[in-house]
């Protein structure tokens, strides 16, 4: 331990090297970890010591490390599969049944159904009529034009589009003959 300018007793570089090499007792390690959480100076010193020690530490064999990790992952998956059979499978199935209302597609489907219901019942038309009644400009326009529902306007446009397509098809038929 060494003194610092702020009155706090700092941990020495030698102590940090012992910490990195795992040569301290469990109590001393805990004390160093607690001190490092509270002292920025010692955290910097620890990082410097860690960089110095990294040069001496052996490099891991990545191939072996990957194989060990994958073996443990396979064991983990097998344990989960074993647990899912029997009683746990029933619990897992019931958990999935409770989870489907939380799925975003369910929310979109409900929103679409509610929108279609409101459109079919004419609620949106009532809202637009109320807004038009409050707006003096639209009120003047409404007096000059007779009100037509959206479905009537849609039908008129569809009929007009079909009428435009039909002569083109008739012309193709005459050309093919």
> pLDDT value at position 28?
92
Instruction: State yes or no: pLDDT of 119 exceeds 60.
Output: yes
Selection from 20, 29, 78, 10 nearest residue 47 by Cα:
20
Using N-to-C axis directions, what is the helix angle for 123-134 and 136-144, rounded to 10°? 110
Q: Is 94 a member of any domain?
A: no
On the question of pLDDT at 138 being above 70, the answer is no
Residue 129 lies in a domain: yes
At residue 53, the pLDDT reads: 81
Cα 176 to the center of its chain, rounded Å: 56
pLDDT digits (tens, 9 = 90+) for 8-44: 788 998 998 888 888 999 999 999 999 988 899 999 9
pLDDT bucket at 62, cuts 50 / 70 / 90:
confident
The domain of 44 spans 2-56
14: Cα within 13 Å, side-chain hemisphere: 2
Q: Note whether 38 and 32 are within 8 A (CB).
A: no
116: in domain: yes
Asked if residue 177 is part of any domain, the answer here is no
Residue at 135 is within a domain: yes
The answer as to whether 7 is a domain residue is: yes
Does any domain span residue 35? yes
How many structural domains compose the chain? Answer: 2
In a domain, 136, yes or no: yes
Per-residue pLDDT tens digits for 144-165: 556 778 888 888 888 888 888 8
pLDDT for 95: 55
Record the pTM.
Answer: 0.34
95-111 mean pLDDT: 77
pLDDT at residue 29, rounded to an integer = 92
Checking if the pLDDT of 86 tops 70, the result is no
Q: pLDDT tens digit string along 4-15?
A: 445 678 899 899
């Amino acid at each position: 331990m060494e003194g610092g300018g702020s009155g706090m007793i700092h941990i020495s570089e030698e102590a940090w090297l012992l910490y990195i090499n795992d040569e301290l007792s469990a109590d001393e390690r805990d004390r160093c970890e607690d001190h490092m959480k509270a002292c920025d100076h010692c955290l910097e010193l620890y990082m410097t010591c860690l960089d110095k020690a990294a040069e001496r530490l052996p490099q891991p064999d990545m191939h072996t490390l990957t194989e060990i990790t994958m073996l443990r992952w396979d064991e983990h998956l097998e344990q989960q599969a074993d647990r899912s059979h029997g009683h746990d499978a029933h619990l897992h199935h019931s958990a999935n049944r409770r989870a489907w209302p939380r799925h975003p597609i369910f929310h979109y489907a409900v929103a679409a159904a509610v929108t279609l219901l409101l459109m079919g019942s004419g609620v949106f038309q009532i809202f637009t009529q109320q807004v038009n009644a409050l707006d003096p400009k639209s009120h003047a326009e409404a007096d000059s034009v007779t009100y037509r529902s959206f479905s009537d306007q849609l039908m008129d446009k569809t009929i007009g589009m079909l009428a435009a397509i039909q002569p083109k098809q008739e012309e193709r038929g005459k050309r093919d003959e």
